[in-house]
Amino acid sequence: MATQTRKQTIKGKAKTPAKRRRPASARRSKNGNGNFANFFVPLFFIFCILFCLGFLGFMGYRTVTASEFFGIKKIDLRGVSRASKDDIEKIVNNQVEKSGVWNADLNEIKERIEKLAYVKTAAVSRVLPDGMRVNLVERVPKAVVRIKGGNFWVDDEVVILGLIGENEERPPFILRGWDESKTETAVKDNQTRVKMYQKMLADWREFDLAKRVKEVNIEDLQNPKAIVEDSSETVSIDLGKENFGKRLQKGLEIVAGRGKAIESVNLSGNREILGFRAK
């Protein structure tokens, strides 16, 4: 009887449906999505935090470096002799006034200064917190040339530096025959003219003759001329390409007291040739 009741109870028990297992691919997809979120969401927030900190730091840096603490108060100029101090200081002040010393564009200041007359190179540096320093290498005048507009200083790179001042000390004679074109040939020829001018000046000072010359004409590089004065008349002496001192001395001896009659002396060849004035 008991056995029969137990069998009926077992038969009457409700059957529980078996759980369905998810496919392996679905489980992997869920795990992958979770891993992606767990990795990239925190990374995104970290990136946002770092970006905000960087932005705030940058703005703070801009504010501090542009403050009055870094405002320009001193300009130290070194190596300045002929260049305009006022022009240099004006360039520095204009460039640094808004940006401050810390943010000053040193290359821009350098380029602007090097455009000034007599400036060959410039080195610009900061003297923190409120100063700037400019070191110049100036161009050195080597000759005085006569071109359109007057007498100008030039250097050994044939850069025209500026007009000669009225009270400025100058060489005893000027250079004529300058090629004012901007070609490569003109530059090379003018460099040769400056070298010849310097050689003449040195030789004639050695012979104590420089003061006797009013000007030199080096238009013809093969046959430069010295223009002298005798008996209140100008006389041209052809010198050739060498021995400037001896040839000038000889030419002055030939024309001494005869300037009214002799117009030119050619000493470029083996024998002198005299040119007389028309009567």
Is there a domain that residue 242 lies in? yes
127 and 207 housed in the same domain: no
pLDDT at residue 222 in the model: 94
Residue 154 lies in a domain: no
Instruction: Identify whether residues 182 and 263 lie together within a single domain.
Output: yes
Do both 131 and 172 map to the same domain? no
Please report whether residue 264 resides in a domain.
yes
Domain that holds residue 115: 68-138
Residue 8 clears pLDDT 50, i.e. is over it: no
Q: Same domain, yes or no, for 119 and 182?
A: no
User: For 168-206, how does the pLDDT look when each residue is reduced to its tens digit (9 = 90+)?
Assistant: 888 999 999 999 998 999 999 999 999 999 999 999 999
| 128 plus 84 within the same structural domain | yes
| 179 shares a domain with 116 | no
Of 117, 138, 159, the last residue of a domain is 138
Among the candidates 138, 155, 184, a domain finishes at 138
Residue 225 lies in a domain: yes
In a domain, 187, yes or no: yes
Same domain, yes or no: 132 and 175: no
Of 34-38, 59-63, 87-91, 169-173, give the lowest mean pLDDT range: 59-63
* Domain containing residue 75: CATH number: 3.10.20.310
Q: Are residues 269 and 175 in the same domain?
A: yes
Q: How far apart are CA 173 and CA 145, in angstroms?
A: 9
- pLDDT bin (cut points 50, 70, 90) of residue 149 is confident
Percent of the chain with pLDDT over 90: 63
Give the model confidence (pLDDT) of 238-261 as tens digits: 999 889 999 999 999 999 999 999
Specify the higher pLDDT residue, 122 or 97: 122
Is 90 exceeded by the pLDDT of residue 108? yes
In a domain, 125, yes or no: yes
In a domain, 132, yes or no: yes
Q: Which has the minimum average pLDDT: 17-26, 121-130, 201-210? A: 17-26
Looking at 94, 122, 138, the residue that finishes a domain is 138
- Looking at the fold, whether 118 and 175 belong to one and the same domain comes out as no
- Average pLDDT over the chain reads 84
Number of domains making up the chain: 2
CATH number at residue 234: 3.40.50
The answer to whether residues 125 and 208 belong to one domain is no
User: 85 and 174, same structural domain?
Assistant: no
Residue 250 lies in a domain: yes
Query: Is 36 a residue whose pLDDT tops 60?
Result: no
